[in-house]
Amino acid sequence: MSAQRELASPTGKYEVKKADWKTMLWAVWANFKSAVLGWTFFLASFVMNITGMVVNICIFYFLATFTGSAMAPYLAKYGGNFAAYIVLGIAFNSYLGASLNSFYNSYCNGYWGCSFELYATSPVGIKAYMAGVILFDYFVATISVFLYILFGVAVFNISFGSGANFGVAALAMIAGMVAVGGIGLVAASTFTLLNAKQWSNPVTWFVNFLTGLVSGVYFPLEVLPEWGRAIGYLLPQTYAYDAARMALLSGATITNPLIISDLSELFISALITVPIGVFLFRRSLRKAEKDGTLSRWS
Amino acid sequence: MGYAIEVLDLTKKFRKVKRIPTDAGFGEAHWIMALGLKLKFLKAEEMVAVDHVNLKVKEGELFGLLGPNGAGKTTLIKCLSTLLIPDGGSALINGYDVLRESDRVKRCINLVGSGNWIGFDWALTVRENLEFFANMYGLRSGVAKERIDEALKIVGLKEKEKETPSKISSGMRQKMIIAKGFIIRTPIFFMDEPTIGLDPVSAKDIRTYIKEKLSEELGETIVLTTHYMQEAEQLCDRIAIMDRGKIVACGTTRELKDMIVRQEVIEIEAINIGTKLTNEIRRIDLVDNVANHIDDEATLTGTIRIHTKDAELVLPAILNSIERNDGKVLHVAASQPTLEDVFMKLTGKGLME
């Protein structure tokens, strides 16, 4: 008992001390390490995913070669290089995909791995568990981004040029991650609220479907019909990709009106999605505590 | 001495939800089914798992919750350990309200469940998993090592400490859960059927540790659920008997047994003791309650316990009944009342039924 801080409770008995920031960070790190360890068992699956995406890049690149200069007018503000456009689109999509999927994935892991009940009664709480798993998703996304860009540079000779503005690109991606993270929280809430427990939920399915089609991952929005563009402008991903590409491929600075417009849209999106996401996620946890479904076999 | 746990009128209801068929043809788009089932869920029938329970557990007491499967023991423990939000009533744990001060409650409790995969990291060894828990609760490394060594020794897992959970048996994983509980010290310790699935020797060692170390030496308040009456009888200072969500009796073993002091108990070991026979015996005059325990399903061999007001008078009728049902009597004895007899008197059925 001496190892635990003794506090005065109404009955005068000792309690386990509240987790300090060091313990919280340790718990997040330990869960991250554990996820990495598990991932190394299924490395083949990661390699296959990357291969699939690289094939996608090639398909779009050769399609662009086939269409010739027809794409050029649409790519002017991004430096005119379609290979760079597509490689960056797919790379950025890995990050924003992690923001969209990781909350739901970590919830699934916690429920099916029976970890939530254990963490819920511990001083670190389930947030430490979820943070570790989410961190792992970003870690995998970072490796993917690195591999895509490496592939683009080695095979298609893409270059960012001396004017690339990495700071603005990073700012756009962070703002995008926050705004899309709000949608990710809504997706995670469907686990309990809609009983979407089988590693698939309506929110990520629908947003992923729209992102691929109308957010500018694979082709500029300008090639879409008006209704497609209108839907695309509702997605935060659209603004994040646009700003990050302009910053890296055309060297756009923070004072560029287009960048200011994109960042403002991302800020407004985050103001809408994050509170809704937090509200619904809290409701879903509350429902799980009412139904006794924090973990399987409850 | 104050109360470590005070439960007032606690109620928990569940809705009986139909399970979504996984082979319904929707594959990963399973949530489409879920949307449809929401409507059915609204019409679902309610099941009362914990029914207006009132309970007080003294500080340092080793308290047992005894009842058959489905009696509501685990639901009650989950409500008290903040994992489940009750629908009505209130509960104070170490003086804190489970609903309004759940964070403080969590810092006063330790929970050992059963289910053998609860939160273990399958990539870590048994010892590494326990070190992980110790770190999570902020134990210094020296204290953690000492407690882990002691816990592994008590549960008999010392030789398996370098194995991963997937490479040990389910009984050993249950021991891991118990070992995890033993390394954390809190004023209140909830143990939900801790010895289920364990071999008798390990179960005995664990019971001894709970009684002698945790309860008597460290003075922890322990609430233990079980459907093993011997475990409850051997360990607990007081026992509450639960059935269908209600506490039907509460007291020391002596007090509970005194409830059936005016009854005689006959224990008959026999072959072919099916439900038909049990029902026939139940209809005999002066027989109050009957319960059977089948030890061998193939031959229906086991023990029938009968409560009666006059054993001498009813015994011939019972033996006739067994003979008529093609049974064979192996042994007949007058028995001392057990906690199961108390349960039978209160609920009209056996603990294992």
pLDDT tens, position by position, B283-302: 888 888 888 888 888 888 99
Question: B257 Cβ partners below 8 Å, 6+ apart?
Answer: B337, B338, B339, B341, B342
Tell me what the mean pLDDT of segment B299-323 comes to. 88
Q: Does A251 touch chain B (CB under 8 A)?
A: no
Q: Does B29 touch chain A (CB under 8 A)?
A: yes
Q: Do B104 and A9 touch (CB under 8 A)?
A: yes
Phi and psi (nearest 5°) for B68? -70, 175
Question: What's the burial of B64, exposed, middle or buried (CB within 10 Å: 0-12/13-18/19+)?
Answer: buried
Helix (H/G/I), strand (E/B), else coil: B7: strand
What would the pLDDT profile of B190-245 be if each residue is shown by its tens digit?
999 988 888 888 899 999 999 999 999 888 999 999 888 888 988 999 999 999 99
Tell me what the mean pLDDT of segment B259-268 comes to. 80
Spell out where B188-256 has E strands: 188-192, 221-226, 238-243, 246-251
Q: How far apart are CA B171 and CA B169, in angstroms?
A: 5
Q: How far apart are CA A201 and CA B259, in angstroms?
A: 55
Cβ neighbours, 10 Å, residue A67: 11
Q: Which positions in chain A touch B132 (Cβ < 8 Å)?
A: 30
| Helix, strand, coil share of chain B (percent; to 5) | 40, 30, 35
Q: Which residues pair with B247 in a beta bridge?
A: B242
Q: Does B97 touch chain A (CB under 8 A)?
A: no
Helix (H/G/I), strand (E/B), else coil: B51: strand
Q: Considering only CA atoms, which of B5, B325, B313, B20 is closest in space to residue B187?
A: B5
Q: Does A127 touch chain B (CB under 8 A)?
A: no
Cβ neighbours, 10 Å, residue A265: 20
Q: Does B115 touch chain A (CB under 8 A)?
A: yes
Compute the nearest-CA separation of A8 from chain B (Å): 11
Give me the DSSP letters along B263-318: -EEEEEEEE---HHHHHHHHTSTTEEEEEEEEEETTTTEEEEEEEES-HHHHHHHH
Token pair for A293:
């479904």
Q: Which positions in chain B touch A294 (Cβ < 8 Å)?
A: 83
Q: Which positions in chain B touch A11 (Cβ < 8 Å)?
A: 2-4, 59, 94-95, 187
Report residue A57 CA to chain centroid gap: 20
Is residue B191 within 8 Å of B181, Cβ to Cβ?
yes
Compute the nearest-CA separation of A99 from chain B (Å): 20
Q: What is the pLDDT of residue B41?
A: 54
Is residue A199 within 8 Å of B28, Cβ to Cβ?
yes
Phi-psi region of A114 (alpha: psi -120 to 50; beta: other; left: phi over 0): left
pLDDT at B280 over 50: yes
What would the pLDDT profile of B166-182 be if each residue is shown by its tens digit?
888 888 888 998 999 99
Report residue A34 CA to chain centroid gap: 20
Q: Do A4 and B185 touch (CB under 8 A)?
A: yes
Q: Does B117 touch chain A (CB under 8 A)?
A: yes
Question: A91 Cβ partners below 8 Å, 6+ apart?
Answer: A144, A145, A148, A149
Q: Which positions in chain B touch A38 (Cβ < 8 Å)?
A: 122-123
Residue A3 DSSP code = T
Q: Does A153 touch chain B (CB under 8 A)?
A: no
Token pair for B121:
């990291």
- Residue A121 has its nearest CB partner, among B31, B83, B140, at B83
Q: What is the pLDDT of residue A56?
A: 79
What would the pLDDT profile of B106-158 be if each residue is shown by its tens digit?
989 999 987 655 678 888 899 999 999 998 888 888 999 999 999 999 999 99
Q: What is the pLDDT of residue A3?
A: 36
Q: What is the pLDDT of residue A298?
A: 46
Phi and psi (nearest 5°) for A171? -60, -45
Q: Considering only CA atoms, which of B267, B285, B270, B286 is closest in space to residue B350?
A: B267
Q: Do B94 and A119 touch (CB under 8 A)?
A: no
Block residue for tokens 């029902």:
B279
Helix (H/G/I), strand (E/B), else coil: A149: helix
Q: Does B186 touch chain A (CB under 8 A)?
A: yes
What would the pLDDT profile of B20-54 be if each residue is shown by its tens digit?
555 555 555 555 666 655 555 555 678 899 999 99
Helix (H) or strand (E) holding B66: strand B62-66
Q: How many CA atoms lie within 13 A of B111 on its CB side?
A: 25
Sign of CA dihedral B220, B225, B226, B229: positive
Q: How far apart are CA B137 and CA B183, in angstroms?
A: 10
Q: What is the pTM of this model?
A: 0.81
Cβ neighbours, 10 Å, residue B75: 25
Among the residues of B72-125, which ranges form H helices? 73-80, 102-106
Q: Considering only CA atoms, which of B154, B150, B217, B228 is closest in space to residue B192?
A: B228
Residue A297 DSSP code = T
For chain A, 298 residues long, the average pLDDT of each consecutive 10-residue run is: 41 68 89 85 81 82 74 80 86 93 94 88 90 93 88 83 86 96 97 89 94 92 93 97 93 94 97 97 94 77
C-alpha radius of gyration, chain B, whole number: 23
Compute the nearest-CA separation of B27 from chain A (Å): 9
Phi and psi (nearest 5°) for B115? 145, -5
Tally A–B CB contacts below 8 A: 152
Is residue B320 within 8 Å of B328, Cβ to Cβ?
no
Q: Does A298 touch chain B (CB under 8 A)?
A: yes
Token pair for A266:
């991302």
Residues 229-268 of B with CB under 8 A from A: none
